[in-house]
Amino acid sequence: MAHQMMEPLIMRDMTGAMVPALATEWAPSADDPEVWSFKLREGVTFHDGSEFDSSDVVFSYNRAMTEDSDYKELLASVKEVRANGKYGFEIVTNGPNPIMASNLTNLFIMDEDWAKANNAVKVQDVEGGEETFAARNVNGTGPYKLVSREPDTKTVLTINENYWGKDEFPMEVTDIIFTPIQNAATRVAALLSGEVDFIQDVPVQDLGRVSSTDGLKVITAPQNRVVFFGMNQGDADLTTDDVEGKNPLADKRVRQAMNMAINRDAIKQVVMRGQSQPAGVAMPPFVNGWTAELDAVPANDLDAARALMADAGYGDGFTIQLNCPNNRYINDEAICQAAVGMMAQIGITVRLDARPKAQHFPLINKLETDFYMLGWGVPTYDSEYIFNFLMHTKGEKYGSWNGTRFSDADLDAKIESLASETDLAKRNETIGEIWAVVQEEILYLPIHHQVLNWGMAGKVNTIVAPDDAAKFKYFTLN
Amino acid sequence: MRDTITRAWRSDFMWTFRRSPVAVVSFFVVALLVLSAVFAPLIAPHDPFNPATLNLMNGFSQPMEPNAFTQEVFWLGTDDQGRDVFSTILYGMRISLFVGFAAVLFALILGVTLGLIAGYKGGWLESVIMRVADVQLTFPAILVAMLIFGIAKGFTPVHLRDQMAIWVLILAIGLSDWVQFARVVRGATLVEKNKEYVQAAKLIGRSPFAIMLRHILPNVLSPVLVIATISLALAIIAEATLSFLGVGAPPTTPSLGTLIRIGQGFLFSGEWWILLFPAITLLALALAVNLLGDWLRDALNPRLR
């Protein structure tokens, strides 16, 4: 949605490659490796007609670095941002950051004057239930502008006639009516009846039906998203289990047993109907740092798992609660239900608590769950992004989605060093070392990489973007 | 003993029963379903509530056809988790019936008590009870049940929610259903309390509690019985509706409504059996109980003979 109306400095096209958006050139500065300099596009205007220049970029970046922002981890290594003339912009980092550019593809540029005039300078505190003017209104530079917005009901966009890239992109879609349909079956029915022309997340059980319908098609591609379970292994005792005085998940043998008990192939064959790629590591295959060895699927060996459980002193099993979303990932609740059965095989009684995503994710964020499902997409296509959010000790700048309570000073130091390591070979070596620890400690139980299915009317032509973001300016119609 | 049975068989009540084919068929349908639910552990080939016995690879087996991976055959097929649909219906029906019976019992006790007090005591107590009942009647029962369910869920600790879900359902459905009983009992009590036998009981000094319980209650029970039967059908439907909406029985221990909700997601893709068989069972159960209730109403009402 946001990508239709707003733009970052650098964006990813439908294949995932980085292309110029509001910046035309970018590179680390020749004389100082700690400075990235950007040349901004000239002659761009916001939807309200005001001019785009470096002050808007400085404003937007400073806004993205505030406490309530969801983007602060991406800018964790940034010391300062500054304008360099009207169309120049510089980012100063704590030590050189060779992959800075790939962190910026989802950082949208807002109009400074508009934000100030509408009291939207501060980022809204979503967990605190805040909503600012910017949540329902937008003034961007993107190819489409907002006509009306009723959250959860309907959002209407129309083409931006003054868009800088009007002649550069197909821009054949002129009006976008975005209708959120929560229920998957209803969504498919809407496509089948011709009520909508394009849907994301076609339920896997309906793929055959949609693609065999005249005038409709489904296109499929692997997604840049991995789904996994997280476990509270740091706390001394758990609140949602039945073991008194100790934490069964803190025992590595238990985590190993759980890892072995999950039959990823059965989940793929039955729950996902073949539409997934079983995973051995909590990292999508597109990401720098991914190797086939890391992603090798752990063996499903129940006897060995039971032996490990007995070894750890849990031969009679234990009870624990699993928190799951029921409307976020493809078949999320069904996967969790399947996991309940698989855990039961090794004596772990799992109580499933499936909730809508709005109630599920705060549990992880506020450390109120001991065993949970989470999925992770990697917009930067680099392991550092995963480490910063999921592996680093949870704190101010890092680890905001690390619900495992895992904390290791050495690992944290290694993760932080990645941001400023200019020697890419050495950097990749450190990435490998960090993954080795993560895998050795069984920080997460990876399930699978999702496969994307977009359903659309036959006249719509596009490819599936691995980040699941449909950027309509690239779509063609026939 | 033999005499009693013969006498019961020849009574008016049984005579109307034998003469009504609808009642006979309904009775046997209800009896069959209730018995198969009660003896589910003996009849069902699998225990769908024990996750350790499930094999995910059995998922989506077609009725009567061997599964593509495991070659196992299931009469009515399996659902998305590899649960045998037949076994799950039997076990699910236990939950539906248990919730239905318990909710009606709860509503009956509450409604009859309040109705008796309102009718016998009168005054401000009657006004309060009957105004509350009137206000509650203006809301659809399912809405009241959802409200109560939501509040109760908020109060139960998270780790007890699954175990508590059934009891919360009973509470919610029962509380949404007591008004019927209270109104009927109050009406009947108003008539009965002025009759000579009540006056006599008062004169010999029996306490109001004893009069209500021993003298009035037995004389107002027959309409209560009729309402209870029809309420049972409504309670079963209410439970199914709540579970269908996802606020009732948890997915790991599905009731008929939960099963229908699960099946509904697979209707488009051709796995019709997950929805169809639980839906037919629910229909048969609710319809038969309802028809039986209708017949009972006619049979117990001398004016309709």
B245 touches chain A (CB under 8 A): no
Strand, helix or coil at B84?
Answer: strand
Query: Is the pLDDT confidence value at A128 over 80?
Result: no
Nearest CB among B55, B80, B264 relative to A334 is that of: B80
* pLDDT-derived band at A403, boundaries 50, 70, 90: very high
Tokens 């016995």 — which residue? B53
Buried b (16+ CB within 10 A) or exposed e, A139-174: bbbbbbbbeebeeeeebebebbeebbbeeebebbbe
pLDDT digits (tens, 9 = 90+) for B211-255: 988 889 988 888 898 899 989 999 999 999 988 887 778 777 888
- CA gap A198, A176 in Å, rounded: 10
Tell whether pTM > 0.90: no
Q: What was the pLDDT predicted at B183?
A: 92
The pLDDT of A309-320, averaged and rounded, is 94
Please name the member of A188, A203, A263 whose beta carbon is closest to the beta carbon of B56: A263
Q: What is the pLDDT at residue A425?
A: 92
- Is A338 in CB contact (< 8 Å) with chain B? yes
What is the C-alpha to C-alpha distance for residues A398 and B276, in angstroms, rounded to an integer? 50
Contacts of B69 in chain A (CB under 8 A): 269
* pLDDT tops 60 at residue B305: no
Q: What is the mean pLDDT of residues A133-140?
A: 83
What local confidence, expressed as pLDDT, does residue A175 receive? 93
Distance from CA of A271 to the nearest CA of B (A): 7
Q: What is the pLDDT of residue B54?
A: 84
Using a CB-CB cut-off of 8 Å, the residues of chain B touching A350 are 51
C-beta separation of A7 from A22 below 8 A: yes
Please say whether the beta carbons of A181 and A157 come within 8 A: no
The first and second tokens of residue A125, run together, are 């505190």
Q: Tell me the shortest Cα–Cα distance from A186 to chain B, in angstroms.
A: 10
The count of residues in chain A is: 478
Mean pLDDT across A37-57: 93
Residue with tokens 């309060």: B128
All residues of chain A having their beta carbon less than 8 Å from the beta carbon of residue B268 are 185, 188-189, 205-206, 209
Q: What ipTM, to 2 d.p.? A: 0.75
A345 touches chain B (CB under 8 A): yes
Which residues in chain A are closer than 8 Å to B82, comparing Cβ atoms? Answer: 270, 341
Environment class of A428 (CB within 10 Å of its CB; exposed 0-12, middle 13-18, buried 19+): middle
- Please answer yes or no on whether A184 and B265 come within 8 Å at the CB atom: yes
3-state secondary structure chain A: CHHHHCCCCEEECCCCCEEECCEEEEEECCCCCCEEEEEECCCCECCCCCECCHHHHHHHHHHHCCCCCCCHHHHCCEEEEEECCCCEEEEEECCCCCCHHHHCCCCCCCCHHHHHHCCCCCCCCCCCCCCCHHHCCCCCCCCEEEEEEECCCEEEEEECCCCCCCCCCCCCCCEEEECCCCCHHHHHHHHHCCCCCEEECCCHHHHHHHHCCCCEEEEEEEEEEEEEEEECCCCCCCCCECCCCCCHHHCHHHHHHHHHHCCHHHHHHHHCCCCEEECCCCCCCCCECCCCCCCCCCCCCHHHHHHHHHHCCCCCCEEEEEEEECCCCCCHHHHHHHHHHHHHHCCEEEEEEEECHHHHHHHHHCCCCCEEEEEEECCCCEHHHHHHHHHCCCCCCCCCCCCCCCCCHHHHHHHHHHCCCCCHHHHHHHHHHHHHHHHHHCCEEEEEEEEEEEEEECCEECCCCCCCCCCHHHCEEC
Residue A82 in tokens: 């500054």
User: Mean per-residue pLDDT for B70-95?
Assistant: 90
Which of A193, A213, A337, A352 would best serve as a mutation to test chain B binding (most B beta carbons within 10 A)? Answer: A337
Contact (CB<8Å) A352/B267: no
pLDDT at A304 exceeding the cut of 60? yes
> Domain A2-117 sits in which CATH superfamily?
Dipeptide-binding Protein; Domain 1 (3.90.76.10)
Would an 8 Å CB–CB cutoff place A197 in contact with chain B?
no
A453 in reach of chain B (CB within 8 A) = no
Could you name the CATH architecture of A223-451?
Roll (3.10)
State how far the Cα of B279 lies from the Cα of B290, in Å rounded to an integer.
16
Distance from CA of A390 to the nearest CA of B (A): 25
Alpha carbon of A342: minimum distance to chain B alpha carbons (Å): 7
Any residues with CB less than 8 A from the CB of B243 and at least 6 apart, and which? Answer: B249, B254, B255, B256, B257, B258, B260, B261
Q: Is residue B303 very low, low, confident or very high in pLDDT (cuts 50, 70, 90)?
A: low
3-state secondary structure of B66: strand
Using the predicted structure, report yes or no on whether residue B164 has a pLDDT greater than 90: no
A303 contacts A286 by C-beta, under 8 angstroms: no
Cβ contact (<8 Å) for A267 and B268? Answer: no
Of B56, B161, B270, the CB nearest to A270: B56
Contacts of B249 in chain A (CB under 8 A): none
Rounded Cα gap, residues B42 and B31, in angstroms: 17
Residue A333: list chain B partners with CB under 8 A.
Answer: 251
Write out chain A residues lying below 8 Å of B159, CB-based. 239-240, 321, 351
Choose the closest CB to A185 out of B57, B251, B268: B268
CB-CB neighbours of A317 under 10 Å? 19
Whether B69 sits inside 8 A of A269 (CB atoms) is yes
Average predicted confidence (pLDDT) for chain B: 87
What does the pLDDT read at residue B18? 84
Confidence of residue A221 (pLDDT cuts 50, 70, 90): confident
The pLDDT tens digits for B253-293 are 888 988 898 888 788 778 899 999 999 999 999 999 999 98
Tokens of A364: 């992880």
Residue at A282: amino acid letter: A
Across the interface, do A337 and B252 touch by the CB < 8 Å criterion? Answer: yes
Residue A129's pLDDT band, with cuts at 50, 70 and 90, is low
Provide the mean pLDDT of chain A: 90
Tokens for A6, please give them: 């707003």
- Find, in chain B, the residue whose alpha carbon is nearest to that of A209: B269
Contact B81/A at CB under 8 A: yes
- pLDDT tens per residue, range A355-402: 888 889 999 989 999 999 999 999 888 999 999 999 999 988 889 899
Look at residue B50 in the predicted model and tell me its pLDDT. Answer: 85
Instruction: Pick A185's closest partner by Cβ from B52, B158, B264.
Output: B264
Q: Is the pLDDT of residue A1 over 90?
A: no
A84 at the B interface (CB within 8 A)? no
pLDDT band at A292 (very low <50, low <70, confident <90, very high): very high
Find out whether A262 and A297 touch, Cβ atoms under 8 Å: no
B positions 132-161 inside 8 Å of A (CB): 158-159, 161
Predicted confidence (pLDDT) at residue A126 exceeds the cutoff of 70: no
Query: For residue A220, what are the β-bridge partners?
Result: A453
B53 DSSP 8-state letter: G
The pair of three-digit structure tokens given for residue A345, joined into one six-digit string: 């095989």
Q: How distant is the Cα of A270 from the closest Cα of chain B, in angstroms?
A: 6
pLDDT digits (tens, 9 = 90+) for A421-455: 888 899 999 999 999 999 999 999 999 999 988 99
Cβ proximity of A389 and A341 under 8 Å: no
Task: State residue B249's pLDDT score.
Answer: 80
Considering only A161-170, B6-15, B122-131, which range has the smallest mean pLDDT?
A: B6-15
Q: For residue B159, what pLDDT band results from cuts at 50, 70 and 90?
A: low
Q: Supply the DSSP symbol for B74.
A: -
What residues of chain A, 251 to 280, have a C-beta less than 8 Å from chain B?
A: 263, 266-267, 269-271
Q: Name the residue ranges covered by the structural domains of chain A.
A: 2-117, 223-451
B304: confidence class by pLDDT, cuts 50, 70, 90: low
Cβ contact A338–B266 (<8 Å): no
- Residue with more model confidence, B32 or B13: B32
Long-range contacts of A131-138, Cβ-Cβ distance < 8 Å, separation of 24 or more: A134/A110, A138/A2, A138/A5, A138/A6, A138/A47
Interface-testing mutation among B159, B253, B260, B275, with chain A (most A C-beta atoms within 10 A) = B159
pLDDT at B101 over 70: yes
Q: Nearest CB to B268: which of A188, A271, A321? A: A188
Q: How confident is the model at residue A23 (pLDDT cuts 50, 70, 90)?
A: very high
Chain A contact present for B60, CB below 8 A: yes
Q: Using CB atoms within 10 A of its CB, is residue A50 exposed (0-12), middle (13-18) or buried (19+)?
A: middle
CB contact under 8 A, A351 and B159: yes
pLDDT of residue B48: 87
Angstroms from B88 CA to nearest CA on chain A: 15
Cβ–Cβ below 8 Å for A185 and B267: yes
- pLDDT band, residue A253 (cuts 50/70/90): very high
Q: Return the number of CB contacts < 8 Å for A and B.
A: 77
Q: Looking at domain B14-40+84-304, what is its CATH homologous superfamily?
A: MetI-like (1.10.3720.10)
Do B73 and B236 touch, CB atoms closer than 8 A? no
Chain-centre distance for alpha carbon A388: 13
Are A139 and A117 within 8 A, CB to CB?
no
